[in-house]
């Protein structure tokens, strides 16, 4: 039998599959099908998820494991900030180590166990990098620019200034008031840029943010390969950096930035060292369920909820209490 975990970072929900525990790792095609089937709420496996985090062995020195990210639509992403916190916790509890590196598509990233974010809410800090701004890292070549920093993009939305950066997955960011975050534009633009369009040919994570004050933001994200999620770790990290670059009076480097989101709150710390940006993302790493299932069913994506033995942990209650204790600067419903 094979064990999976159901986890979340800021209610950005994932399944973790540790392939080092399998008799036979899944093929890439099997991972795509598994991601689509496990994550679809209609299939009733714990109401689905936003993605599957696949843990593999890493042969890099000083690296405890490799993380691959399969979105709910089966597409693969180069990075997942909320997910990396949960994989870091999984590997920490598996090995007993509390500070180490995890291999991701474009970099081996530093992770470190933190003090609990609140009672019963374990937390990890993870490195978000590499950070790039140019069209080579972002597929927006049809917008006639090599960079998009605090620029109007009338082709996409009149009267809105955007910033785009890759961390290394692609993000497009705009700052505005609550109407922008909860109005119709976000869904329309998010669906357009993640469908057939000449601007972001590989899709893009769309982040709208409200500035709450010095080093305080609220960020809502329409994620590539998923749609609206309760939080996007790389989105909150990229938005924090865009905040400091476009509002240097309010967003500061080397200072914790409080980032609220529909699923809770995380902290980010921006760094610029040796001509390199990187972002620390600090937040919860919550395990809500353990699941066991026959490995063959995962390979064949041939399962219903009845094929899983599911155990619920006691952690979600503690996280709900944490979220309830937070201010609600913007009214966006939490997606179950
Ligand atoms: N949907 C994203 C991957 C997951 C990122 C998000 N869940 C996070 O926490 O960073 C993409 O395709 O780039």
Confidence (pLDDT) at 287: 98
Other residues' Cβ atoms within 10 Å of the Cβ of residue 20: 12
Any atom of ligand 1 within 6 Å of the Cβ of 291: no
Confidence (pLDDT) at 335: 77
pLDDT at 111 over 90: yes
- Give the DSSP letter of residue 20: G
DSSP-derived 3-state class of residue 6: strand
pLDDT at 167 over 80: yes
Confidence (pLDDT) at 141: 75
208 bridge partner residues: 174, 220
pLDDT at 146 over 80: yes
- Integer Cα distance of 111 and 257 in angstroms: 18
- Give the DSSP letter of residue 318: H
Angle at 275 between CA 77 and CA 141, to 5 degrees: 45
Any atom of ligand 1 within 6 Å of the Cβ of 70: no
Q: Which uninterrupted H or E stretch holds 83?
A: helix 81-95
Kindly list the structural domains of the chain, giving each domain's residue range(s) and its CATH number in brackets, ordered by start.
2-110+284-324 (3.10.310.10), 135-283 (3.10.310.10)
39 is catalytic: no
8 A C-beta contact, residue 265 and residue 10 = yes
Confidence (pLDDT) at 142: 82
To test the pocket of ligand 1, the residue of 11, 79, 222 to mutate (highest count of ligand atoms within 8 Å of its CB) is: 79
pLDDT at 139 over 90: no
CA 242–ligand 1 middle distance (angstroms)? 17
Confidence (pLDDT) at 243: 98
Catalytic residue among 172, 232, 285, 298: 232
Put simply, whether the predicted model's pTM sits higher than 0.90 gets the answer yes
CA 205–ligand 1 middle distance (angstroms)? 7
Confidence (pLDDT) at 196: 96
Contacts of 247 (CB under 8 A, 6+ apart): 175, 211
Express each pLDDT in 5-62 by its tens digit.
Answer: 999 999 999 999 999 999 999 999 999 999 999 999 999 999 999 999 999 999 999 8
- Integer Cα distance of 205 and 200 in angstroms: 10
232 is catalytic: yes
Any atom of ligand 1 within 6 Å of the Cβ of 232: yes
- Of 60 and 139, more confident: 60
DSSP states of 214-241: TTEEEEEEEETTTEEES--HHHHHHHHH
Binding-site positions for substrate read: 12, 71, 81-82, 169, 205, 223-224, 233-234
Q: Which uninterrupted H or E stretch holds 86?
A: helix 81-95
8 A C-beta contact, residue 47 and residue 40 = no
pLDDT at 138 over 90: no
Nearest CA to ligand 1 atom 4: 80
Average pLDDT score over residue span 220-226: 98
8 A C-beta contact, residue 82 and residue 12 = yes
Express each pLDDT in 237-259 by its tens digit.
Answer: 999 999 999 999 999 999 999 99
Express each pLDDT in 66-108 by its tens digit.
Answer: 999 999 999 999 999 999 999 999 999 999 999 999 999 999 9
Express each pLDDT in 172-222 by its tens digit.
Answer: 999 999 999 999 999 999 999 999 999 999 999 999 999 999 999 999 999
Closest CA to 188 of 208, 171, 169, 170: 208
User: Please, what is the average pLDDT of the chain?
Assistant: 96
Positive or negative, the CA dihedral 271, 272, 274, 276 is: positive
Confidence (pLDDT) at 136: 80
CA 234–ligand 1 middle distance (angstroms)? 6
Catalytic residue among 31, 67, 80, 298: 80
Q: 277: pLDDT confidence band, cut at 50, 70 and 90? A: very high
């Amino acid at each position: 039998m094979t064990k999976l975990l159901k986890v979340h970072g800021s209610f950005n929900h994932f399944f973790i599959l540790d392939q080092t525990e399998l008799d036979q790792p899944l093929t890439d095609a099997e991972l795509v099908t598994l991601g689509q089937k496990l994550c679809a709420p209609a299939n009733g496996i714990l109401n689905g998820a936003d993605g599957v985090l696949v843990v593999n062995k890493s042969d890099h020195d000083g690296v405890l494991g490799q993380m691959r990210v399969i979105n709910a639509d089966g597409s693969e992403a180069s990075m997942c900030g909320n997910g990396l916190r949960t994989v870091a916790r999984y590997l920490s509890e598996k090995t007993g180590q509390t500070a180490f590196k995890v291999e991701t598509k474009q970099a081996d990233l530093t992770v470190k166990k933190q003090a609990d974010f609140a009672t019963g809410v374990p937390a990890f800090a993870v490195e978000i990098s590499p950070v790039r701004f140019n069209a080579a890292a972002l597929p927006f070549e049809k917008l006639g620019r090599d960079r998009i920093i605090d620029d109007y993009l009338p082709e996409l939305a009149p009267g809105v200034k955007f910033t785009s950066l890759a961390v290394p997955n692609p993000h497009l960011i705009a700052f505005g008031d609550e109407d922008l975050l909860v109005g119709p534009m976000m869904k329309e633009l998010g669906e357009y840029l993640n469908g057939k369009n000449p601007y972001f040919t590989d899709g893009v994570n769309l982040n709208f943010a409200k500035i709450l004050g010095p080093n305080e933001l609220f960020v809502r994200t329409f994620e590539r390969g998923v749609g609206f999620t309760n939080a996007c770790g790389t989105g909150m990290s990229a938005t924090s950096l865009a905040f400091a670059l476009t509002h240097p009076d309010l967003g500061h480097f080397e200072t914790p930035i409080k980032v609220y989101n529909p699923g809770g709150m995380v902290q980010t710390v921006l760094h610029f060292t040796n001509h390199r940006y990187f972002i620390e993302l600090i937040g919860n790493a919550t395990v809500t369920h353990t699941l066991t299932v026959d490995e063959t069913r995962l390979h064949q994506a041939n399962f219903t909820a009845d094929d899983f033995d599911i155990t619920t942990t006691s952690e979600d209650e503690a996280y709900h209490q944490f979220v309830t204790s937070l201010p609600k600067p913007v009214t966006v419903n939490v997606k179950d």
